[in-house]
Structure 1
Amino acid sequence: MPELPITSRDNLITFCFYEGEDRSTVKLVRYLCWTSGSVHGDDTLYVGVIEGSTRPSEHSLEQINQALAQVPAERVFPPLPFPWYHTRTRVTVADDWDEEPSSDLYLKRPWMNQFLPDARPGNHQVAVWFAHEVKQLERLALSPPHPNLLRYHGCRVRNGRVTGILLDRVPGQDLCAHLNSGGTIDREPFFATLASAIDHLHNIVGLVHNDINPSNVMVGPDGAPTFIDLGAAFPEGEEMVLNVPFECWGDDPLDMDPETYYVGLEHGLPVSRRSRDIAALNHLRTWIDNPVVETTGRRRRGELAHHFIEFGNRRMEEAAARRVAMENETAKEFEVAI
């Protein structure tokens, strides 16, 4: 077994999961660690879970190293060509990108918050979804750019597998963090820009975002918003599933910190709809007037997104109740008529 790479906490990505209504009790801590090889070497992921009520600050590096296990590449990184599509997917290889940190570029890895090391060995869902995101970004790259949509520069490929997606580094903070740190927005221009970006995505690119929430809207230093994350994007009318494997869900799907996914399935059918993006924008417009921002201290963006989803779900439930009431009223009128 190769030597584990953890020599300092700087190498770690940490997710802390809580339980209880006040979310003050630690349920488990999940650690991730990426190691990058040379241009001709491997990228490697280590994942570990420490259960119990102890917090990350109480875990020693020795404990973390003991918990970490290497994840097989085939479970994380999709092979080229992608085997899950009937037609060959065009993939731009960013082979001229070096390893040096860049203020302009960001390397997105597969989203591993919900990855379980002991999940079924044959489960390649993380790799499938990473390939799906590449497919949608390639479609975006073939269309004229929009200044308020993320920019894609290709994929990092190691040993025949896609190990990362190269994107413009969007300056600023996501909308949750921006509001939580006391930032403000110029409401009408802000939402006009968001609407313009979504209209471009719908009508020029031919995709529905399907995951509009405060964590997927970046606010730049000039106050302008930029949509990020096409992991849940599909063309209009295509069947879709959540970009988190179902077996990775906990008892409460909203425990998926620091991201919370707004899918808002219409009538229970997982179908990509433009109307979902429009509804999410409307929820966002209303939510932003009362975003449940804590003024006495920082609140995790996942919690803010959590409140946004709860708000959206309440609105959907209210709309469904109104629809049922209207249907019942119509049925009564029909009975009277006959």
Structure 2
Amino acid sequence: MSRTKPTITPDQLILLDRYRIDEYTHFEPEEGAVFFHITADDRIYRGVSSTDETEITTQECASLLLRIHDRFVYPPVHKQTKLTLLPVQDKHDRFSDSTSFYIKRPRYMAYDERRTTVHPNFLTRSMLQEICALERISQNPHPFIAKYHGCRVRRGRITGIVLDRAEITLEDAVDDPRFEDLHANRFFEGVTSAVMYLHCLGLAHNDLNPSNIMISKDGGPVLIDFDSCLPFGHPLDKFGVAGWTDMDPEDYKTPNTSERRHDMYAMGKLIRWLLKRFPGDN
């Protein structure tokens, strides 16, 4: 990691709860605080401190930040790969409008130097998988799948995926009074339509759960998070969320593959979850 230090303010720090670190890295949590900072030109910094996250100061964080090299987080742009590229135009970049667009970055919180020594392309491969799935879906867009615009490019690498911004995740909508009249069966039909569309393309989502389904402004579902969306039979790097998958998220050694049955298992859980929390159809 580079030792150049950025200038930061408290609101520019992303603090990772140490109890969630193993969720991202599959390694034992480091003691103290782990934190990140992303600059305006998409350079990612990471820091680790022995100080508890509730006590660490911004000054200490800034002194400990080290830049993660682009090659570990951002996939390179290859001329032979046909992707929708959106080189960043700093002065006239309409995709910087955060009210209309969402820029999804690689899962940089999963970065760990211990992992990169074994799997240096883990994060870049995961991001490319999602882009390939979205490129294929976007050839014939589905109304209940996040609208994909293309990939932001800086320094010859893909630094973000540009999507339409949706209203709120289904998981968060449970506690939002605006959605208390959401009709579970109608909403589920929309999700089912999106999942069946993926299956018709020979793809499985493999990570269906309420945090990966959003609600649009008109109240319909928006399926998101395609970094595990792969053709049937392809090996998976991720194992889904505990309670929402027929795979074992704690078993990192047993190989798993992309399968239709992973989605069908999650769909069975989802309709029960919806009917319990949004009983508008009952």
- The answer to whether the aligner puts 1:193 opposite 2:190 as a matched pair is yes
TM-score (norm 2): 0.80
Instruction: Give the 5 Å matches for 1:202-213.
Output: 202-203=199-200, 205-213=201-209
Distance 1:28 1:177 in 2: 28
Structure 1 SS opposite 2:47: strand
CA separation of 1:233/1:100 partners in 2, compared to 1, >3 Å: closer, same or farther?
A: closer
Please give the per-residue CA displacement for 1:21-69, whole angstroms capped at 9, x wherever unaligned.
xxxxx964321111133xxxxx3110112345x334x321111112211
Whether 2:133 is the aligned partner of 1:136: answer yes
Aligned: 1:230 with 2:226? yes
Cα distance in 1, alignment partners of residues 265 and 106 from structure 2: 28
**How far apart are residue 262 of structure 1 and its match?**
4.8
Q: Percent identity?
A: 29
2:169 to 174, 184, 191: 174
Partner amino acid for 1:271? T
When the two chains are superposed, the root-mean-square deviation of aligned CA atoms in Å is: 2.9
CA contact (8 A) 1:77 1:163 kept: yes
| Contact map agreement 1:194 1:225 (CA 8 A) in 2 | yes
The answer as to 2:83 corresponding to 1:91 is: yes
Distance change in 2, residues 1:141/1:129 (3 Å) = same
Could you list the runs of 5+ residues in structure 1 that have no partner in the other structure? 20-25, 38-42, 83-87, 245-253, 255-259, 292-338
- Per-residue CA deviation, residues 131-190 of structure 1 (Å, 9 max, x unaligned), is 221111111122x111110111111111221111111111x2111111033443211101
Say whether the 8 Å CA contact 2:244–2:265 is kept in structure 1. no
Q: Give the letter for the 1:66 counterpart.
A: S
Relative distance call for 1:112 and 1:137 in structure 2 (3 A) is: same
Pick the structure with greater CA Rg: 1
CA 1:262–1:74 in 2, change beyond 3 Å: closer, same or farther?
Answer: farther
Q: CA deviation at 1:119?
A: 4.1
Which residue does the alignment assign to 2:74?
Answer: 77
Aligned to 1:279: 265
Task: Map Cα deviations across residues 242-271 of structure 1 (whole Å, 9 max, x no partner).
Answer: 179xxxxxxxxx7xxxxx7955339x6512
Amino acid at match of 1:216: N
* SS at 1:264 equivalent: coil
1:238-277 equivalences in 2 (<5 Å): 238-242=234-238, 262-265=244-247, 270-277=256-263
Q: For residues 269 and 3 of structure 1, what CA distance do their matches in structure 2 show?
A: 39
Alpha-carbon deviation of 1:277? 0.7
Is the 8 Å Cα contact of residues 240 and 271 (structure 1) preserved in structure 2?
A: yes
- Give unpaired runs (5+ residues) of structure 2: 21-29, 249-253, 278-282
Local SS of the residue matching 2:207: coil
SS at match of 2:145: coil
Tell me, yes or no, if the aligned pair for 1:209 and 1:234 is still in contact at 8 Å.
yes
1:213–1:261 CA contact under 8 A, matched in 2: no
Q: How many residues align?
A: 256
Return the match for 2:274 from 273, 281, 288: 288
Distance 2:82 2:244 in 1: 28
**Contact conserved, 2:104 with 2:160, CA < 8 A, in 1?**
yes
* Aligned counterparts of 1:63 and 1:261: Cα–Cα separation in 2: 38
TM-score (norm 1): 0.68
- CA drift at 1:193: 0.8
Match in the other structure for 2:23:
none
Q: Is the 8 A contact 2:103 2:162 kept in 1?
A: yes
Residue matched to 2:215: 219
- 1:292-311 equivalence runs, <5 A: none
- State the Cα deviation string for residues 63-107 of structure 1 (Å, max 9, x = none): 11122110011111111229xxxxx53211113651743422111
SS of the residue 2:107 aligns to: coil
Deviation at 1:239, TM superposition (A): 2.5
Q: The residue matched to 1:166 in structure 2 has which SS?
A: strand
- Which of 34, 37, 54 matches 1:33? 37
C-alpha distance in structure 2 between counterparts of 1:92 and 1:243, whole Å = 28
Q: Distance in 2 between matches of 1:212 and 1:108?
A: 18
The CA distance in 2 between the partners of 1:103 and 1:151, in whole Å, is 15
SS at match of 2:225: coil
